[in-house]
Chain A
Amino acid sequence: MWIERKALAQEVPQAGALSTRQLCDLLAALGFPVDGVAVREGTEALDVDITANRGDAMSHYGLAREIAAKLQQPLARIAAPAVREGPPVVEVRLESAACPIYSTAVLELGSGRTPAAVQAFLLALDSAPKLLPAVDASNELLHRYGHPTHAFDADLIHGAVSVRWAKPGEALVTLDGITRNLAAADLVIADETGPIALAGVMGGDGTKVTEATRRVLLESAWFDSKTVRATARRHSLHTDASHRFGRGADPAMAPVARNLLVDRLQQWCGGRLVSAWTVGSVPALVASVALTETLLARVAGEQLPLEEAAHALRRLGCETKHGHGCLQAVPPSWRHDLTRPEDLAEEVLRLRGYECIPSVLPPMEGPPEPLSASYVQRQRLSRRLAHLGFHQTVTYGFISPEADAAFAAPGNHAEGRTLANPLGQEYSVLRCSLLPSLLAAAQQNLHHGARETRLFEVAPTYASGPNGPEERFMLGAVWGGTLGGEDYLNPARPVQEADLRGVLQSLGFATKPELHSLGEGLFGFEAPVADLAAAGARIIPAFRPFNRYPSVERDLSLLIAPGQSYETLAAALRAVLPSNALQDLRCVDVFRHKSLPAGHQAWLIRMRFQTDRTLVGEEIDGWVAAALAAAESLGAKLRA
């Protein structure tokens, strides 16, 4: 909201003595930060940020009231001349509780124009004057005092005016020229032919004031904030008026703003008042709130005398009385946000300044809680992967249906995971897998010239369930590109599936996750974090004696026929070897060469034996011979 400095100083002269920086700091300290300062029409305008609860502060006068209260300086009185009310010249009916008061007047306009000072004021606020006094005056009052008003061309209104809910099928062309199809929850001002304004939001085009207007019917009412918010949202029509009524205007201002408007039209263009009258009355929106000394001390962090609190609240317009450790405050008509003791305490602190709040660490009332095992496990897993050379990614939880479908398990239908209002098709499905996102990131890295890409993410994936998507934390990893070749000891070679398999094996998942070949030499896997072995309950496991006898290693070099599975061969060897002595059996080298028979390869199988005594050569020879026989039974041959 734009605030013109000179106009602000008219309401609270002390503000004129402050530098721009001081004024900005003062407003920020009151809860109204200044987002920027603009110079227009030779004057400074501040872009002030007003929070949604403070409709009362959305004007020069509203902010001046705050500044005056804070600085304990005088505030100008609203110079509203008393207008003698008379008999209605148009019947006005209030048919909804959403409009409890409607002050109005009919004036005959003379000649004259919007004063230059008012035009400059509006221009400084980035609001173009319309050079129609009735329109400009209404606009000026809105910015100066925060109360929206409206002027109709009285000669274009047919019969009685009513404030009522829209009827089915009714439409209204608003001032912006757009036809609005009205809903039953839209509050309208209507004449006998139909709606002429969207109450508190925007006037109708058919009854607007123009150069040709001779008589105006003024509207200075008060509309329920919820109703105005809903209508503004329904029609995507956010106006200065809807902004103020939507955040809560001051109902007591309805007759005052009408008087100000009448006065301006009399002054500016020789308007002749035909009659002014008010229908309804100011609603009782505020009620007395009690603030105890205890609650104030608790919120403020120190004992504050209730006298001081009462003084602060009175500066803000509250009526107060106190005694017996309790203060009763009746907020002013413009502060319907003050409904709880905490609200009053906040006001007291705000006027004192938040810088006065002491700084205290909260005392412990119970023992602290450890971090959850699942959280710690994820943190450790991430660290572990980073140390293994993987880069942690952060990718969006929603992906395209096509990317999702490529990895969806049968039964995990995308319909249950689809957004009703996605940013676009490509972000419409809550992903069933991390792999599509990781694959895209990996490809992007290779595309940007990375030799190698090694990525992981720990994030939830979603499975469609009867009660909505079910979340599960997964670890996903991809690896591809070229390894080595960047120093003199490690020659370059492509990343192989086995590289990722080794990582997977070392992480120790309970069930072995599937390895995916993702194309372009990229490999990936994904597994639920919960499938990782949880950290043991003991910090250090129970002692288990370890074998101190020497171990013996023996190698068997086997010529392997095409199609032989290593798993089968290893199982056959293990089956004939003494399980208590065999500590390890693995293939440590693979040799493939044209010198071998076509399709054959040579595997170097290493066996490690150890028992709780010293082994003798003969028995080991016997085991190795048995292992060889087992291998031969599968068609393998001993290489020289």
Chain B
Amino acid sequence: MMRKLLFALSGAALCGLALPPVSFAAETPTITISKSDTIALALNPIGGPDSALITKVVQNDLTLSGLFSIADANRAAMTVGGADAGGSLQGKVLDHSGGTVLARAYRGGAREKAHAFANDIIETLTGHRGMAGSTIAFSATRSGRKEIYSADYDGSNVRQLTHDGSISVAPALSPDGRRLAYTSYLKGYADIYSIDLASGARQRIVKFPGTNSGPAFSPDGSQIACTVSRDGNPELYVVNANGSGARRLTRTPGVESSPSWSPDGRELVYSSDDRGGPQIYRISAGGGSGQLLSTGYRYCTKPTWSPDGKKIAFNIREGGVFRIAVLDLASNSTRVLTSGDDARDPIWGPDSRHLLFTRGGNLLLLDAQNGRTVKILDGLGSISEPAWSR
């Protein structure tokens, strides 16, 4: 009952915020909403040896989600608390009258437990999937060369994965976050490599003549889409995750690049300049002809399909400035999300609400619902081409 009510509440809250959709209205006719577009939560410090870290991580996760505001207990709809003892975090969410909304135990590292608790709070109170605990990857020049790094989605646990002194770019994370594929010039040509993140084992998996670049894992992790030019032209290909079984998807005289899979794995979107400036196309994963998606913009690159399947974000170039736009597939309407300096290489997070992108060599998190932007990482030289697990 409580959960149902809260779901309606958050739905109404989102409705008040999102610009075009009207679909939430019918579900929430009788509920009066405060002006706030978020659920107010009180956060009691979590007790135990890692209390400060866990409390901080949970608070940050809840704030970054865009779904909550942290408030005093008397103004909050719920209170989040808990205790960490004997390696186990007992997480709790109580309502006004002290009734238990969520009570669950978490094991693992301090950050891991905190992220899992935060995701449960998000899912229980809003019905939405959280992004806490997800993994990101990117290319950065801290060492003087472009190398691949991974990190937690909130910018903690930065780890340098490659130390090749070559050019390592275009990382992609498998949906489960266990494998990373990327483009490297280690052999002097652009080839696609795959790293098992637990063991560090690396293999060169796509190495046809010409350029092999821009890997993208299918939603089940079994296949990789990429650009291959062995036929005398850059075309989209799909290969098995170990690089075998290459098959060509596109046949155009233009340049195809940056594939991104639909959540059901049946289709891909990509960029092609087959008809003038680069545009976004949609194609069956089995091949066939690409269908142009009408966006209204003349230069569209780097599409990313949201995990909920509803939206495609991409880069546009207007007046020499790169901005991030999002196409809503149901309404076929496009909104521009960024203004100001160049914003590049958007990638959706697992919550289908946030995008990572780069600006001025820093990594930023963009809330596609309200446009709020938070810096996640800097100080690693120039960061480019972020990837995100699902």
Q: Do A and B bind each other?
A: no
Spell out A's residues near B (CB within 8 Å).
none
B residues with a Cβ closer than 8 A to A are none
